[in-house]
Chains A and B, each alone.
Chain A
Amino acid sequence: MTERIVICTQELVKQFNTRGGTVAAVDGIDLQVRRGETFGLIGPDGAGKTTATRVILGLLRRTDGRSSILGHDSMDDTYAIRACVGYVAQQFALPGDMTVMENIRFFANVHRVGRKERRQRIPKLLEFAGLDGFTSRPARLLSGGMKKKLALACSLVHQPQVVMLDEPTLGVDPVSRREFWNLLGILRAERELTIFVCTPYMDEAERCNRVGLMYRGKLIAHGTPAEVKGLVPGRLIEFTPSDFDRAMALVTGLEGVLEVQTYGLMLHVFVDETATRQQEIQCALSAQGITCKGMGEIEPGMEEAFIGLVRRARDSQ
């Protein structure tokens, strides 16, 4: 293992025993997160992101495989991991009846941050998180975005080398989401913090250095956002048909059409070649009396790539 790899998993498996049998929430994933990068674990609800994160942190016992952070095994060296990793759980998990200040002090104390450092760090962190005006407010009375920022501040108080954030912008408005990501950007730039983030949002995936796509417990693709987007074959055509349902059925059957995705009232169609296929689709639709607006080629985004890859994984399973 090289020094540059911070988080590493090999064939990691986590099964839950439920009444209906065993469920593999994490089903053999291999991933590597490098020092200083922002890694996004992307996946739909129930993909197993939270479970994977918890197993890597040593909060859940793994069923099989290996995982480690900074060379510390998740199961055997949990306390070594806890000293150098910060974690923000998916749901708000700070004591809600304690104030902002009490919360951050508590986490500083359990990490045995000395008095002097505490006095320096806490005001800085609060200012950084934009919470300096709310120090005496009980945590449960904070807005959704502020709660997340407080959790982030608490997870940073012992100056970890790695932070693992589980859907840190869940239930947060777009403005606060942007603010939150700006904070992460600052952390990455100033402290060279390694950031591991779980998210179902594609726009957030684009902000990561590298991403892993998780689906039903498996890692179906990984790489830089550009690499992942490149995994989907073909070019992408976008248009708005006048009769959505019929147009979709019609286009799906055409030659050279690789995949059709819906996007609001628009259709996103992957084709093997742009110019001729665009022509053919237009002809086929107008033959059925369907007009379409705004047809043109676009760059496939994370979202299209993601849907395409998930669909492919589902078909092959």
Chain B
Amino acid sequence: MLLRIWAVIQKEFIQTFRDRRTLAIQLAMPMIQLFLFGYAISMSVDHIPTAVADQSLDAASHGYVNAMVASGYFDVVMYVASHHDVLDAIDKGRVQAGIVIPPGFDALVERGDAQALLLVNGEDLFTSQSAYNAATSVAKAHAISILMEKATCAPLAAASQSTLPLDARIRILYNPNQDDLWFIIPGMLAMLLQVQSITLTAAAVVREREVGTIEQLLVTPIRPAELMLGKVTPNILISIINLLTILGLGVYWFNVPFQGDFWLFLWLAFMYVFSGLGLGLLISTVSQNQRQALQLIGMFTIVGVVLGGFIFPRYAMPPLIRIAGNLFPLTYFIPISRGIITKGVGIESLWEQVAALFTYIIVIMFFASRAFKQGLD
């Protein structure tokens, strides 16, 4: 049995290394994707081109605008006269956001009911959200600093003031740039690893069937499970290399600190790869050709990313959708990945997800080996 598996492994490695170009793509693609996504995502949230309609032009308004610019989220690209001009600039796509400061801002701040208006282009979800969040937190920070200033000058007056001088209703702890990538990269790692492991396996098996070589393999004494194991071995290796490169890029290039236990993470990620391999095998048994397999993989990835909590938090989903999310291994691994990388927690806080992931792997491998056909029909 081991000899036959070894024979299949050798064959798969020969074939993998013979197709150098595909191998290069397989090794480099997740890195390139992470690189692009990492930048695309971190750039969409800061340096939002902004128009300013400062109708006060006094010290308070300057201070406020400066605080907004200093946050790094807003780049003032034009100064306009009125609220109307700001809308116009957003409509024309020249800016994504606008700050409108009413006349007499100084006095309003003094009285404690200053309200600066922030207009954001809502077309782009990420921009508007981060602009919104940034604006509120900047306003708040700014308001506090004004208050502190006042307090040092005239302690009594400040103490009697019950509200902050600048409006900031929502309180978000926001550590811009970094927090975002800290949140995204562990999820992305989970996603890319999954896509890679599913695709490699499904493609390898379906290709065998499509070109007909499966027929000649099936008349040898190789058992289906042996063929399966042999076929996924090079893919495990490629996936592990992907894992390490993605992680390296995240930590050393995007400066996402790795808080937890590296070896624990590596071990769990290794197990997680098996869920993708199992899914790939399952997909390969239901699809007749590579196109069908790719369609299924595409569907699986997109739905998995949405339901697995990569973008939208799972606690906000309706129960039925949340249950559907359990079909995707991403759902179990994202909390593991974020937990270990970002939060630095150990297995004691993750055992629920780990248990779920292991159960998932066992179930999927069971179905995959059942479905992996012995014959041609």
**Interfacial residues, chain A to chain B (CB-CB below 8 A):** 16, 54, 57-61, 78-79, 82-83, 85, 87, 89, 91-98, 102, 106-107, 109-112, 138, 151, 154
**Shortest distance between the CB of A106 and any CB in chain B (Å):** 5
Q: Which of B14-22, B140-148, B309-317 contacts A (4 or more CB under 8 A)?
A: B14-22
Chain B contact residues: helix, strand, loop or mixed: helix
Q: What are the residues of chain A within 8 A of B375 when measuring CB–CB?
A: 58-61
Give which listed residue, A54, A85, A98, contacts B14 with CB less than 8 A: A98
Identify which of B5-13, B88-96, B296-304, B349-357 touches chain A: B5-13
Given contacts A93-B216, A98-B14, A98-B18, contact A82 B7 (CB under 8 A): no
Contact status of A59 and B376, CB under 8 A, knowing A79-B221, A91-B212? yes
Binding site for A on B (CB under 8 A): 3-4, 6-8, 10-11, 14-15, 18-19, 211-216, 218-223, 374-377
Are A112 and B3 also in contact (CB < 8 A) when A60-B375, A60-B376, A107-B220 are? yes
Report Cα–Cα, A112/B8, bound state, in Å.
Answer: 12
B213→A94 contact, CB < 8 A: yes
The residue that A110 contacts in the complex, of B7, B211, B212, B374, with Cβ under 8 A, is B7
Known: A57-B219, A93-B216. 20 other contacts (CB 8 A): A59-B219, A59-B376, A61-B375, A79-B223, A82-B220, A87-B219, A89-B216, A93-B213, A95-B11, A95-B15, A97-B15, A98-B14, A98-B15, A106-B11, A109-B3, A109-B4, A109-B7, A110-B4, A110-B8, A112-B4
Of the A-B pairs whose beta carbons lie under 8 Å apart in the complex, a sample of 7, sorted by A's number, is A16-B377, A58-B375, A59-B218, A79-B221, A106-B10, A109-B7, A151-B216
Nearest B residue to A97, CB-CB:
B18
CA distance A91 to B216 in the complex (A): 10
Q: How far is the CA of A5 from the CA of B31 in the complex (A)?
A: 61
Which of B8, B222, B375 has the most CB atoms of chain A within a 10 A radius of its CB?
B375
Please indicate the chain B residues that have their CB under 8 angstroms from the CB of A61 in the complex. 375, 377
A42 CA / B331 CA spacing, docked (Å): 57
Given the known inter-chain contacts A78-B374, A110-B4, A110-B221, please indicate yes or no for A102 contacting B216, CB distance below 8 A. no
Are B19's CB and A110's CB within 8 A?
no
Residues of chain B within 8 A of A106, CB atoms compared: 7, 10-11
CA distance A112 to B3 in the complex (A): 7
- Closest Cβ of chain A to B177, distance in Å, is 46
How far is A146 from B211 in the complex, measured between Cα atoms in Å? 19
Nearest CB of A to B130, in Å: 48
What separation, in Å, do the CA atoms of A79 and B220 have in the docked complex? 8
Contact B222 A95 (CB under 8 A): no
Please report the C-alpha to C-alpha distance between residue A185 and residue B5 in the assembled complex, in whole angstroms. Answer: 35
For residue B17, which residue of chain A has the nearest CB? A97
Measured between beta carbons, the chain A residues less than 8 angstroms from B3 are 109, 112
Q: How far is the CA of A91 from the CA of B209 in the complex (A)?
A: 13
A297 and B223 alpha carbons, distance in the complex (Å): 57
A255 to B6, CA, bound (A): 71
Query: Judging by beta carbons under 8 Å apart, are A95 and B376 in contact?
Result: no
Q: How far is the CB of A104 from chain B (nearest CB, A)?
A: 12
User: By the criterion CB–CB under 8 Å, are B377 and A60 in contact?
Assistant: yes
Measured between C-beta atoms, what is the minimum distance from A157 to chain B in Å? 10
Residues of B within 8 A of A79 (CB): 221, 223
Query: Is A111 touching B14 in the complex (CB atoms < 8 A)?
Result: no
Q: A60-B377, A79-B221 are in contact. Are A89 and B215 (CB under 8 A)?
A: yes
B220 to chain A, nearest CB (A): 5
In whole angstroms, how far apart are the Cα atoms of A82 and B375 in the complex? 13
Question: In the complex, which residues of chain A have a beta carbon less than 8 angstroms from the beta carbon of B7?
Answer: 106, 109-110
CB distance from B299 to the nearest CB of A (A): 25
A82: chain B residues within 8 A (beta carbon): 219-221
- From A78, A83, A95, give the contact of B213 (CB < 8 A): A95
In the complex, which residue of chain B has the Cβ closest to the Cβ of A54? B376
Residue numbers in B under 8 Å from A95 (CB-CB): 11, 15, 213
Chain A residue, CB-CB nearest to B374: A78
Name B215's contact: one of A16, A59, A98 (CB within 8 Å). A59
